[in-house]
Amino acid sequence: MDLRWYSIVIDSRDIAAQARWWAEVLNWQVVFESDEEAVIIPRWSEEEMAATPFDRVGPGLVFVPVPEEKVGKNRLHLDLAPHTSLDRQEQADRLLALGATRADVGQGPDVTWDVFRDPEGNEFCLLSSRDR
């Protein structure tokens, strides 16, 4: 059996707020919350986990507390992609309405993605629309 990519851990000042924000962005759910961590997973994954082999279950996001503010550009970031059936600009507008801000990390004007920051300043990208 292979190792399973279990989660991505994100340092956060307010783990509950970050978990709720990302759950809203991704239409996921908060499945665990304590003072030490908050965990979100896709809404469908709890139902399908029992029937899915261990190494095929997708990762969740875990938010853990840190005392310091984020400084500098992320070394790792999430890429989000809308399906081709969705209006990409509507998705960008939705992210902004939820509290994301646009970011310039030197990407230039000719790229096919947009860079945003979540409420705590973590960069992430909205890619071009895809069907896979």
Q: Are residues 61 and 82 in the same domain?
A: no
Q: pLDDT value at position 99?
A: 98
In a shared domain, residues 55 and 82:
no
Give the pLDDT score at 1: 62
Tell me what pLDDT residue 25 has: 97
Is the domain of 59 the same as that of 82? Answer: no
Query: Sign of the C-alpha dihedral, residues 106, 102, 10, 113?
Result: negative
Q: Indicate if 113 and 84 belong to the same structural domain.
A: yes
Q: Is residue 71 part of a domain?
A: no
Domain assignment of residue 88, given as a range: 78-126
For residue 132, being part of any structural domain is answered with: no
The model's pTM: 0.91
- Are 99 and 51 contained in the same domain? no
Residue 51's pLDDT is 84
* pLDDT lower than 50: segments of the chain: none
Q: Is residue 1 part of a domain?
A: no
Identify any residues that bridge with 125 across adjacent strands, giving them in sequence order.
79, 115
3 state SS of 23? helix
CATH of the domain at 52: 3.30.720.120
Whether residues 91 and 54 fall in one domain: no
Q: Which residues contact 122 (CB under 8 A, 6 or more apart)?
A: 10, 70, 74, 77
Determine the pLDDT at residue 96.
98
Residue 118 placed within a domain: yes
- Please give the pLDDT value at position 45: 76
pLDDT reported for residue 31? 94
Q: How many domains does the chain have?
A: 2
* 59 in the same domain as 15: yes
Q: Do both 52 and 25 map to the same domain? A: yes
- Predicted pLDDT of residue 43: 86
Angstrom CA distances, 75 to 4, 41, 91, 96, 102, stand at 22, 22, 24, 23, 18
pLDDT at 93: 98
Tell me if 102 is assigned to some domain: yes
Same domain, 51 and 101: no
